Amino acid sequence: MKTKICEICSIAADTMFRVQIASGKNWIFVCQSCCEKSKSLTQYKYGGTWKGKRH
């Protein structure tokens, strides 16, 4: 199982959300809870879900 580190809170998780939280900035991977919080930002864009678990 692979994990990524959330770029906002630095927690490791096996399901990450690719989001943009500022205009013109790079895409970042964030955990579910940071993704939920980011949804209120006006520049929020969702770019997909990354899963480290193999099915």
For Zn ion, the binding residues (CB under 5 A) are: 6, 8-9, 31, 34
Q: How far is the CB of 21 from Zn ion (least distance, A)?
A: 11
Query: In this complex, which beta carbon is closest to Zn ion, that of residue 4 or of residue 24?
Result: 4
Q: How far is the CB of 43 from Zn ion (least distance, A)?
A: 17
What does residue 34 show for φ and ψ, rounded to 5 degrees?
-70, -35
Query: In this complex, which beta carbon is closest to Zn ion, that of residue 9 or of residue 41?
Result: 9
Question: Are 19 and 49 contacting, i.e. CB atoms less than 8 angstroms apart?
Answer: no
- CA–CA separation, 55 vs 50, rounded Å? 13
